[in-house]
């Protein structure tokens, strides 16, 4: 579907996100003929900047971050649509001037008055910018034209701040016009979880506590914190990854089947399962979690220094760069099935996956291998870098006597589909322009996520340095993460 004409207004246009992801994604959409014919990009800068300089800077970013070879004609046509306009929320009159400039551009490009305001800024700018957009009337829908507000992550830093931000934004735009981005939902492999579960008849009957022993969600990263010390030291692994990315995976895997494939049904089902995550007391949260911080080490051939030596990180920082949690979901489908989540920086390998571990066969018919030694039955949804699905099961080793070994049946996207490389933002930006909110978070989902992690945040803050483990960069994370499962007689899945 080609979106209707619109003005795509970017706050934070000189920043890393715009250069690295937004413009390359718009380029990919342009190459696939998925941008509106009547289109303009308005880049908002705090200080005066010429459109020529802005275009040159975006072109430089595009050449560096494009996921496909850059076709000069397509890039020129896209950048020709870009105009720089300065506006600063501390100077309300600049937003009135922005409205006048925008109205002229809209008339020029014949975009029909449809506007998308994209806040690719640090989170402390969300409230002041949206306030001014509301006050100046830029977001007011009139004459049949739509107005939409797109907000990047992080959405709040805890339950109270997420609620306050929701309340503020919803006093300016309706839920339907608000698009809270979580880039995990732009990943094909993540969207496919819905299709895997709900377009096949064979998984749903066994997708419950009768047949599933537990679920593991892993988001391991090789990169350290690098130049993001000032943001990361205030944030930590739990806030940075769990209530958003890991909970998107959890909710897609654990939600009830929605009755329709539309934004209302899908987002309601997701919010409901997040709200069913059992609230833990602070003592339980300490018992059911592990946090770690990396020390110097080698990831592959790359030396990574101690986390505390990263620029802008406190020398005595207690911020976690690794988090592992055990959660349970209080509903009929999942009662008693643990969900183990882990994520960390500077680990030995990049791996993002959901592993569903099925219950063992009920008794050992084959004397050759005791039941506890049989290989485990996992369904593994590989998100990155392995994109695909694998099923692990036991099979007979060919030969005159019965001997058993674990094998794997795999599906890899790359073996079946040829898709032009993308950065994951294309679908999200396209959906904002066509007005489809399925892949965006709703207020209740965001708040349910923060509610589930709040006891961990509180307990860790009180505990300070106590209980913070260290792990060398390049390792698998703190040893206690293994103990978290071992005490339940389980273990993290080893990559096959």
Which of residues 102 and 439 has its CB atom nearest to ligand BG6 in the complex?
Answer: 439
Task: Name which of residues 108 to 167 contact ligand BG6 (CB under 6 A).
Answer: 153
153 annotated as a binding-site residue: yes
Q: From the CB of 324, what's the least distance to ligand BG6, in Å?
A: 16
Alpha-carbon Rg for the chain in angstroms: 24
Map tokens 């749903």 to a residue: 204
CA distance linking residue 359 with residue 336, whole number of Å: 13
Under the binding rule (CB under 6 A), the answer on residue 233 touching ligand BG6 is no
CA distance linking residue 14 with residue 18, whole number of Å: 7
Question: Could you give the C-alpha distances from 28 to 25, 70, 329, 413, in angstroms and in order?
Answer: 5, 9, 39, 20
For residues 150 and 116, the answer to whether their CB atoms sit within 8 Å is yes
Which of residues 219 and 484 has its CB atom nearest to ligand BG6 in the complex?
Answer: 219
Size of the site for ligand BG6 (CB under 6 A): 5
Q: From the CB of 232, what's the least distance to ligand BG6, in Å?
A: 7
Q: From the CB of 413, what's the least distance to ligand BG6, in Å?
A: 16
Which of residues 113 and 344 has its CB atom nearest to ligand BG6 in the complex?
Answer: 344
For residues 119 and 12, the answer to whether their CB atoms sit within 8 Å is yes
147 annotated as a binding-site residue: no
Under the binding rule (CB under 6 A), the answer on residue 431 touching ligand BG6 is no
Q: From the CB of 432, what's the least distance to ligand BG6, in Å?
A: 18
187 annotated as a binding-site residue: yes
46 annotated as a binding-site residue: yes
Q: From the CB of 236, what's the least distance to ligand BG6, in Å?
A: 10
Under the binding rule (CB under 6 A), the answer on residue 352 touching ligand BG6 is yes
10: β partners: 43, 118
Residue of this chain nearest to ligand BG6 (CB atom): 240
Q: Enumerate the active-site residues.
A: 245
240 annotated as a binding-site residue: yes
State the chain's maximal CA–CA distance in angstroms.
86
325: β partners: 289, 341
Of 132, 152, 213, 240, the one binding ligand BG6 (CB under 6 A) is: 240
Identify the CA nearest to 436 among candidates 155, 186, 197, 192: 186
SS3 482: helix
Interface map 182-221 toward ligand BG6 (x if CB under 6 A): -------------------------------------x-x
Interface map 300-319 toward ligand BG6 (x if CB under 6 A): --------------------
SS3 259: coil
Q: Going by C-beta distance under 8 Å and a sequence separation of 6 or more, which residues neighbour residue 425?
A: 21, 22, 24, 25, 183, 186
299: β partners: 302
Q: From the CB of 186, what's the least distance to ligand BG6, in Å?
A: 9
Which of residues 240 and 320 has its CB atom nearest to ligand BG6 in the complex?
Answer: 240
How many Å from the N-terminal Cα to the C-terminal Cα in the chain? Answer: 40
Which of residues 245 and 308 has its CB atom nearest to ligand BG6 in the complex?
Answer: 245
For residues 191 and 387, the answer to whether their CB atoms sit within 8 Å is no
Which residues contribute to the site for ligand BG6 (CB under 6 A)? 153, 219, 221, 240, 352
Residues making up the binding site for substrate = 183, 187, 221, 240, 345, 350
């Amino acid at each position: 579907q080609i979106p209707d004409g619109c003005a795509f207004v970017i706050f934070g246009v000189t920043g890393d996100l715009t250069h690295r992801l937004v413009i390359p994604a718009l380029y990919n959409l342009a190459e696939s003929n998925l941008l509106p014919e009547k289109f303009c990009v308005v880049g908002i800068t705090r200080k005066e900047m010429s459109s020529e300089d802005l275009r040159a800077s975006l072109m430089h970013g595009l050449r560096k971050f494009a996921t496909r070879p850059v076709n000069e004609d397509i890039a020129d046509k896209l950048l020709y649509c870009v105009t720089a306009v300065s506006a600063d929320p501390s100077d309300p009159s600049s937003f009135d001037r922005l409205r006048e400039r925008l109205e002229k551009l809209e008339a020029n490009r014949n975009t029909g008055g449809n506007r998308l305001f994209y806040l690719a800024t640090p989170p402390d700018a969300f409230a002041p910018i949206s306030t001014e957009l509301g006050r100046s009337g830029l977001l007011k829908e009139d004459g049949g034209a739509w107005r939409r507000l797109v907000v990047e992550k992080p959405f709040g830093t805890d339950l109270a701040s997420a609620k306050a931000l929701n309340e503020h934004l919803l006093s300016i735009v309706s839920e339907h016009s608000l698009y809270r981005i979580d880039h995990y939902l732009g990943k094909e492999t993540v969207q496919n979880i819905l299709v895997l579960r709900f377009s096949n008849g064979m998984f749903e009957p066994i997708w419950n506590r009768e047949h599933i022993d537990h679920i593991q969600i892993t988001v391991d990263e090789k990169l350290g914190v690098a130049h993001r010390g000032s943001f990361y030291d205030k944030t930590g692994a739990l806030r940075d990854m769990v209530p958003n990315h890991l909970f998107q995976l959890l909710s897609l895997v654990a939600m009830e089947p929605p009755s329709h494939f539309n934004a209302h049904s899908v987002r309601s089902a997701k919010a409901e399962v997040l709200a069913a995550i059992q609230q833990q007391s602070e003592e339980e949260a300490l018992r059911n979690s592990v946090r770690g911080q990396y020390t110097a080490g080698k990831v592959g051939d790359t030396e990574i220094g101690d986390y505390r030596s990263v620029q802008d990180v406190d020398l005595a920082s207690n911020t976690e760069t690794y988090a592992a949690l055990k959660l349970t979901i209080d509903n009929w489908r999942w009662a008693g099935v643990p969900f183990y989540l882990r994520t960390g920086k500077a680990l030995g390998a990049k791996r993002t996956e959901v592993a569903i571990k099925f219950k063992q066969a009920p008794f050992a018919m084959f004397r050759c291998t005791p039941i506890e030694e049989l290989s485990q039955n996992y369904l593994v949804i590989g998100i990155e870098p392995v994109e695909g699905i694998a099923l692990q099961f036991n099979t007979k080793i060919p030969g005159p006597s019965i001997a058993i070994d674990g094998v794997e049946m795999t599906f890899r996207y790359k073996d079946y589909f040829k898709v032009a490389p993308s950065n994951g933002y294309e679908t999200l930006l396209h959906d904002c322009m066509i007005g489809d909110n399925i892949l965006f978070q709703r207020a209740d989902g965001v708040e349910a996520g923060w509610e589930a992690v709040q006891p961990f945040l509180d307990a860790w803050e009180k505990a300070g340095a106590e209980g913070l483990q260290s792990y060398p960069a390049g390792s698998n994370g703190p040893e206690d993460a293994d103990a978290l499962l071992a005490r339940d007689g389980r273990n993290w899945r080893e990559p096959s």
